[in-house]
Amino acid sequence: MDRTASVELPAFPLQLLLKQHPDWRGHPVAVVDRDTPKGVLLWVNEPARCARIRTGMRFATALSLNADLRAAEVPETAINRAVNTITKGLHSHTPHVEPAQSEPGVFWLDASGLEGLYGSLMQWASGLEGDLSAQGFRATIIVGFRRFATYALAKSRGGVHLLSDPAEEQRALEQVPLDRLMIAPKTRDALAKLGVLTLGQFLRLPPEGVRQRYGPATFALYRQASGDLSLPLQPERPLEPIMARAALDHVETDTERLMHLIERLLTPLLDELAGRGQVLDALRLLFRFERLGLHKEHIRPAAPTLDARQLLELITLRLAGTGLPDGVEEVRLLIHAVTPEQRQLELLTEHPRRSLDAANRSLARVRAALGEQAVVHARLRAGHLPENGFDWGLLTKLEPAQPRPIAHRRLIRRLYRQPIPLPPRPRQEPDGWMLHGLEQGPVVRVSGPYVIAGGWWIRPVHREYHFAETQKGELLWVFYDRVRRRWLVHGRVE
């Protein structure tokens, strides 16, 4: 007998949000459709429910109930990306996986014939639950017989459950509350007035009366619950990777001839991508050299594209920067494809004079010519010393600027890569303290000290920071290192 399993990740967008912000756990958290005071709450966690915060509320209303509420949007693209990632992981447990199109976070799996591999279906389901838990997801897994039955039971239970026979499955299905299923609120409330609260009570109603009074959607639910309408498993068919390979009869050492070969390999691959309705997100080049063996290069355009000219330009820049240290015996191209996002038409809006796409294409050329580490951006991090308060991460794409309105302009403190040592400060300064040469004049005002001390767990640190203003108006940020007994300038203020 065929076995079917249903996997549900309850409140899937909320789980994704908590994965992005693990420090929010334990606080009231909600997913909103817009991160504005008028945004509507779509999902809320248990601490939010305890604070009487419910889905459908406005963000401002929920904040008035509990000012500690944390909320943010979860874009549809992020949800789809997570669903694709989880689907790929589920394929390691069974070859046939179907993600629900209308409910992200719901999956159906073919569990037939897996007892011989895992000892029992309970062991298989427990391993599946452990895998999802290791990824940071809370999951409910029901192993049964009918597609709708396992889905409905996953909505009403938690943990991992194995149903031994169809009769047990039907008995459990009849106990499922109607409010756990995708049923219109008006229909649910109308049935509640009749005392119909569970699927078992719902199935005792006459089918023709359900169809006439509550409409085709409720009648379809009735037929699925009764077993009259049963959809087969429709597993997602993973696409074959798009790649091309060319083994050369003679070792190639000329970059221009090699580029002609790459162009011949790349063009049909892009045509195949277009036929699938996908675009190229990244391209991996593999060269097998005569003596040096296998060498890999990674090319990533500014945005997913099918433009062969743009890709060939990036490959040319990369080869010009790295060169060919040895003769090439074999070339392979492997494409990572994504489904393009459907952008909404922008009507009656002001277009900025600077093109963000052009800037991203320029950065892609820099990466292609100089490598991935050539384009980075500063990221804040926890550090005791000022120079440890940030680090540099890879910048894959420029995002639209989101300036925040400010009431007053603020000064900017720019740090030098390394603090610059200053000559010893004499005890008596007849002409004033000269920090930046004669052109800036002597120091006329000093503010401080602002002490940073600690570091005993690695090495002692005791710095006394000052803001020193010169006669010409330059404002420098200097400190006295009391441990090493010297003055250094750490940056300037603009």
Give the model confidence (pLDDT) of 232-253 as tens digits. Answer: 888 777 667 788 999 988 888 8
End-to-end CA distance of the chain: 75
Backbone φ and ψ of 169, nearest 5°? -60, -45
Radius of gyration, alpha carbons of the chain = 32
pLDDT confidence bin for 346, thresholds 50/70/90: very low
Using the 8-state DSSP alphabet, how is residue 277 labeled? T
pLDDT confidence bin for 463, thresholds 50/70/90: confident
Nearest CA among 84, 166, 99, 159 for reference residue 125: 159
Query: What stretch(es) of the chain map to CATH 3.30.1490.100?
Result: 239-341+355-400
The Cα 99–Cα 114 span in angstroms is 20
For the cut 80, the answer to whether the pLDDT of residue 408 exceeds it is: no
The Cα 30–Cα 94 span in angstroms is 33
- The stretch 312-316 carries a mean pLDDT of 89
For the cut 80, the answer to whether the pLDDT of residue 153 exceeds it is: yes
pLDDT confidence bin for 345, thresholds 50/70/90: very low
What's the CATH code, domain 239-341+355-400?
Answer: 3.30.1490.100
Cβ 282 vs Cβ 298: under 8 Å: yes
The Cα 71–Cα 220 span in angstroms is 36
pLDDT tens track for 90-136: 988 888 899 988 888 999 999 888 888 888 899 999 999 999 999 88
Where is average pLDDT lowest: 50-54, 229-233, 477-481?
229-233
Count of alpha carbons within 13 Å of 192, Cβ hemisphere only? 10
User: Considering the chain, what percentage of its residues have pLDDT values greater than 90?
Assistant: 16
Where is average pLDDT lowest: 76-90, 356-370, 396-410, 439-453?
396-410
Nearest CA among 388, 362, 366, 384 for reference residue 375: 366
Where is average pLDDT lowest: 10-24, 149-163, 166-180, 341-355?
341-355
Cβ 253 vs Cβ 327: under 8 Å: yes
- The stretch 403-426 carries a mean pLDDT of 77
- The stretch 287-302 carries a mean pLDDT of 87
DSSP-derived 3-state class of residue 226: helix
- The stretch 316-327 carries a mean pLDDT of 82
- The stretch 378-394 carries a mean pLDDT of 79
Dihedral of CA atoms 331, 332, 337, 343 in degrees, nearest 10, equals 0
The Cα 7–Cα 125 span in angstroms is 10
Q: Which two tokens stand for residue 304?
A: 């997913």
The Cα 372–Cα 366 span in angstroms is 9
**Upstream peptide bond of 95 is cis (omega within 30 degrees of 0):** no
- The stretch 316-324 carries a mean pLDDT of 81
Query: Higher pLDDT residue, 255 or 356?
Result: 255
Query: What stretch(es) of the chain map to CATH 3.40.1170.60?
Result: 4-162
User: Considering the chain, what percentage of its residues have pLDDT values greater than 70?
Assistant: 92
The Cα 259–Cα 319 span in angstroms is 9
What is the reported pLDDT for 348?
35
Query: Higher pLDDT residue, 454 or 255?
Result: 255
pLDDT confidence bin for 141, thresholds 50/70/90: very high
pLDDT confidence bin for 350, thresholds 50/70/90: very low
pLDDT tens track for 165-198: 989 998 999 999 988 887 887 888 889 888 999 9
A 10 A CB-CB count for 344 gives 6
- The stretch 267-289 carries a mean pLDDT of 88
- 376 residue type, one letter: V
Backbone φ and ψ of 341, nearest 5°? -80, 140
Nearest CA among 290, 164, 336, 147 for reference residue 224: 147
Cβ 375 vs Cβ 395: under 8 Å: yes
What is the reported pLDDT for 349?
39
Q: What's the chain's average pLDDT?
A: 84
pLDDT confidence bin for 344, thresholds 50/70/90: very low
What is the reported pLDDT for 457?
57
- The stretch 478-489 carries a mean pLDDT of 85
- The stretch 16-32 carries a mean pLDDT of 90
The Cα 184–Cα 466 span in angstroms is 66
Q: State the pairing for strand pair 413-421/486-493.
A: antiparallel
Dihedral of CA atoms 398, 402, 404, 409 in degrees, nearest 10, equals 40
pTM: 0.54
Domain 4-162 of CATH type 3.40.1170.60: yes
Which of 83-97, 330-344, 433-447, 466-480 is the most confident on average?
83-97
- The stretch 266-289 carries a mean pLDDT of 88
Domain 174-226 of CATH type 1.10.12: no
For the cut 80, the answer to whether the pLDDT of residue 455 exceeds it is: no
pLDDT tens track for 219-237: 988 898 888 888 888 877 7
For the cut 90, the answer to whether the pLDDT of residue 450 exceeds it is: no
